[in-house]
Each structure stands twice: as C-alpha cells, then as structure tokens.
Amino acid sequence: MYNVMSPRAEEFISDEEIQSSLSYAEQNKNNREVIERILEKASEMKGISHKEAITLLDCEIEDLNERIYQLAEAIKQEFYGNRVVMFAPLYLSNYCINGCKYCPYHLKNKNITRKKLTQEDIVREVTALQDMGHKRLALEAGEDPVNNPIEYILESIRTIYSIKHKNGAIRRVNINIAATTVDNYRLLKEAGIGTYILFQETYHKESYLELHPTGPKHDYDYHTTAMDRAMEGGIDDVGVGVLFGLDKYRYEFAGLLMHAEHLEAAFGVGPHTISVPRLRNADDIDADSFTNGIDDDTFAKIVACIRIAVPYTGMIISTRESQKVRERVLHLGISQISGGSRTSVGGYYEPEPEDEKSEQFDVSDTRSLDEVVRWLMEMDYIPSFCTACYREGRTGDRFMSLCKSGQIQNCCHPNALMTLKEYLMDYASPETKTIGDKLIEREVLNVPNEKARAVVTENLRYIEQDNRRDFRF
C-alpha cells in the first residue's frame, strides 16, 4: 500500500502507485484539458505531484510541450537566476565489495588498478584542486568496510578542510558513499559535510536486485531508506538521483519524485539536490548492452519536468555529459555542474599513468575548469563558487525558506559574484578574467536591494585591491 509517510521503502516507493501513475499518464498524454490544468498549477512555481509530473513527461501535444520547456526555463530563472554552482569530484578509493553490474569497481573486476588515496595523496590532490580554483568537492568512494571504513572517510574530510594553500580552500565537502547507519551519518554531519549524496541507481526493486547481485548494496530496502537514516542522523541536505539507462526512465522518474515527496512529508524537507547521471562506458562495462538508454531529447524533457515538479531542489549534471548536452539542459533546470573532473583515484596532481586504470567511467566533457567557466560566462551564466548557505547554517528547511522568501537575488546573486571575483583574481586565464570582470560589472546592477548592492561593490573592491577573501551573505 502506498504511504508517503511510511518508513518502509516498499510503501513510499510503492510499485502499485508507480504503475497506476504511469497508466494515468499514458491515458492522458494527449488530453489537452488535463495537461493544461497541470500546467496552470505548475506555473504557480510551487511544484506538482509525481503523477502530474509524469503526465507532463509523457505529453505528446506539441504546443503544450513548448509550454513545458518555457515554464522549466522560467522556474530556473526565478529560483537560480543565471548562477551555476561549480564543483569537482574527488575519488578517494575504488576498492569495493559490491557486485554492481554497471560499475567497473565491482569486486570481480581484475582489470582495474585498485587504489586508495593516503592522507598525503589527498593533500597533493586537494592542493591541485585548489590551484584550479575549486571550493566545493564531492567525495566518492567504493563500499569496502576494511579498506574504506568510516574512520578513513572522516579523516579524509578533516584533511581536506585543513588544507589552506595560497588563497585556496575547500569550503564545502559533499559525500557520495554507500548507504550506512544513523551513527555514521551523525559522524559525517559532525565532520561538517555539506550534502550527503546517494544515487538510488534504480527504483525498480526487481531490477535493483538483479543489478546488485552481491555485496551489502544488494539490500534494496536498506539502500532505499538511507536518506531517512541520514536525516535521523542530523543531515538535512541530502542529494538523490537515479542512473538513467538501468531501467525504464518513466518508472525511475516517478520513483525519484516519490522519494522527494517522501522526504518532504516525513522530515519536512525535500532533497537538496537531484542528480541525473546517465550510464557511460567504463572499463568492463558496455553501456550499449543495457537496453534502457535514453536519447538526448528524452533526457532534456526529464530535466525540464523535474525542474517543474520540485522548483526548490538543485539539479546536478556531471562530466558524463558532453558540452552540447550540458548546454541544453542548463537552460532547463540544471543548477550545479562539475568542471575539469577526473574520475580516476587521484589524477588531479598528475595524470594517471597509461598502464594504470582506476577510472570509474569515461568522461565526455574533458575541458579544464577555466574553459568551462569561460564557456558559461560567454553564455551569460555566472559560474558560482559559493558555499555560503551551509556555512551560515542555511541547510534543510532553512535553505528552503530562503528559496521561498524571494531573497535569493539579494543573497545568492551577490555571493556568486564575490566568489567568481575570487576565482578571476586567483586562478583565471587573462582571457577568462577579462570576460568575467565585464560580467560582474553588469551583474552587480542586478542586485535589487540598494544596501546589498553597495556592500557587494565594496567587497569586490576588497577582493581586487586588498587580497581579502571569503565574503558572504
């Protein structure tokens, strides 16, 4: 039985509810009246239900599809403006005891080089990341209680936060590690993590069990209730996602939104972010051998419909996607992107030697961070290195109230400009700096509150002339 509040995975991700929502959408995909009614509700920008969202996703009426894309863009503009938050992944270890059939880190893969960064390696890697200009990391590790115990992750977080090299600092560490216990989530919270990220991979239980035949990750219920435990452990910024390509996208889309609805209903705060990774080729993984891959058009529509369904939830895209695809979905709802990423264990300090292979998947967008920053600015986006919210205690529902208060333009916009200015001063190429300085000059005028505008202008001057850093609202 479907119960959005239930602590049980099979009740808040109820297969019966998903099937009935999918058939409702199928029946109404050409029903103008129903779809227009949903669009009217959606245009209030307060979100819509999974059943309504899947109907928009299925919609086959051309002019209404146009309206869907326009609304997604409008919502993106309203809540995120032209800011795009930058981050980089850091792979700590590819030791893993799971048997995930889509991931080259699976236990039986003997082709790849198993590696785990020591604390000294981490210092080198993070110094290199700071020298690129990064301020926000997503830590990644395989699941292996012997090689990657929680103590190792905690020690690594401490090391990362302690590294202060030139004007650099990692100010927010997000964590993508396997489902764990409430106690461990509490420890992660105490270590000062930003978001706890865990992809569901697939919400379809049968496929999940088949795709994760061995190892602790085989336990669908434990994996699916991880965010509940994270919330219980005090982490109120959680990031969800599915790996598109594993099962049918309509099913995954419905499951993803039901998961968001569950967290909102049970804990009063929905997910902080949703990631939309698509399956990629990797060492012994052939993405084409999975039959549920989605094309770029479907992918774009998924992004647009998520944007409409959960306006307050950030959306993340990685370098799994090409420049072209990234450009398209940025308009429709993506608010965070990675740049200059390496998916090998290490690889920022010096490229991985030819004969070593520790990569998780092939990267499509191989540009440097400077190139990605410049490209964004050439399209009039503001690359933001802001990490203010969580450092000011604006997590969970306090972040959501900032979104709902309409004060984003007086808070996030200045923070984006000030952190971009730091990037331009410390790390940008001359060409990027010229474009960026002009952008900042224009964008300062878009801070609505006069007082805030004056403060930003003054701080920008301090950053440029006095080498001062880390201003924030």
Of residues 17, 58, 125, 140, which one binds ligand SAM by CB under 6 A? Answer: 140
Residue nearest to ligand SAM (CB): 103
What are the start-end ranges of the H helices in 285-426? 296-309, 323-332, 369-378, 388-391, 396-405, 408-426
**Residue closer to ligand SAM (CB basis): 201 or 247:** 201
Of residues 69, 102, 220, 348, which one binds ligand SAM by CB under 6 A? Answer: 102
Cβ–Cβ under 8 Å, residues 111 and 284: yes
Q: Assess 279 for contact with ligand SAM (CB under 6 A).
A: yes
Of residues 320, 331, 342, 374, which one binds ligand SAM by CB under 6 A? Answer: 320
Q: Assess 196 for contact with ligand SAM (CB under 6 A).
A: no
CA dihedral 324, 325, 326, 327 (to 10 degrees): 50
Q: How many CB atoms lie within 10 A of CB 306?
A: 24
**Residue closer to ligand SAM (CB basis): 42 or 211:** 211
Determine the interface stretch with ligand SAM among 180-188, 196-204, 344-352, 383-391 (rule: CB under 6 A).
Answer: 196-204
Determine the interface stretch with ligand SAM among 33-41, 139-147, 154-162, 391-399 (rule: CB under 6 A).
Answer: 139-147
Determine the interface stretch with ligand SAM among 63-71, 273-281, 374-382, 419-427 (rule: CB under 6 A).
Answer: 273-281
Cβ–Cβ under 8 Å, residues 272 and 313: yes
Of residues 47, 81, 133, 142, which one binds ligand SAM by CB under 6 A? Answer: 142
Q: Rounded to whole angstroms, how far apart are CA atoms 111 and 96?
A: 14
**Residue closer to ligand SAM (CB basis): 243 or 440:** 243
Determine the interface stretch with ligand SAM among 25-33, 75-83, 170-178, 324-332 (rule: CB under 6 A).
Answer: 170-178
What are the start-end ranges of the H helices in 29-181? 32-42, 50-58, 62-80, 119-132, 150-162
Total interface residues for ligand SAM by CB under 6 A: 21
Q: Assess 198 for contact with ligand SAM (CB under 6 A).
A: yes
Per CB under 6 A, which of residues 344..403 are in contact with ligand SAM? 360-361
Cβ–Cβ under 8 Å, residues 129 and 138: no
Max intra-chain CA distance, the chain? 63
CB of 140 to ligand SAM, least distance (A): 4
Q: Assess 137 for contact with ligand SAM (CB under 6 A).
A: no
Q: Encode burial over 217-233: b for 16+ CB neighbours within 10 A, e otherwise.
A: bbebebbbbbbbbbbbb
**Residue closer to ligand SAM (CB basis): 217 or 301:** 217
Q: Assess 299 for contact with ligand SAM (CB under 6 A).
A: no
Determine the interface stretch with ligand SAM among 64-72, 257-265, 277-285, 449-457 (rule: CB under 6 A).
Answer: 277-285
Query: 172 by DSSP, 3-state: which?
Result: strand
CB of 391 to ligand SAM, least distance (A): 25
Of residues 122, 193, 243, 256, which one binds ligand SAM by CB under 6 A? Answer: 243
**Residue closer to ligand SAM (CB basis): 14 or 176:** 176
Q: Rounded to whole angstroms, how far apart are CA atoms 151 and 179?
A: 15
Where do we find the tokens 């869907």?
Answer: 68
| Bridge partners for 342 per DSSP | none
Residues in the chain: 473
Q: Encode burial over 424-459: b for 16+ CB neighbours within 10 A, e otherwise.
A: bbbbbeeebbebbbebbeebbeebeeeebbebbeeb
**Residue closer to ligand SAM (CB basis): 83 or 229:** 229
CB of 198 to ligand SAM, least distance (A): 5
Determine the interface stretch with ligand SAM among 3-11, 21-29, 274-282, 331-339 (rule: CB under 6 A).
Answer: 274-282
Cβ–Cβ under 8 Å, residues 40 and 233: no
Tokens of 213: 């035949």
Selection from 44, 46, 24 nearest residue 35 by Cα: 24
Q: Assess 244 for contact with ligand SAM (CB under 6 A).
A: no
Determine the interface stretch with ligand SAM among 126-134, 198-206, 305-313, 417-425 (rule: CB under 6 A).
Answer: 198-206
Give 285's contacts (C-beta < 8 A, 6+ positions apart). Answer: 102, 103, 104, 279, 361
Cβ–Cβ under 8 Å, residues 254 and 54: yes
CB of 178 to ligand SAM, least distance (A): 4
Q: Give contact residues for ligand SAM (rule: CB under 6 A).
A: 102-103, 140, 142-143, 176-178, 198-199, 201, 217, 243, 277, 279-280, 282, 285, 320, 360-361
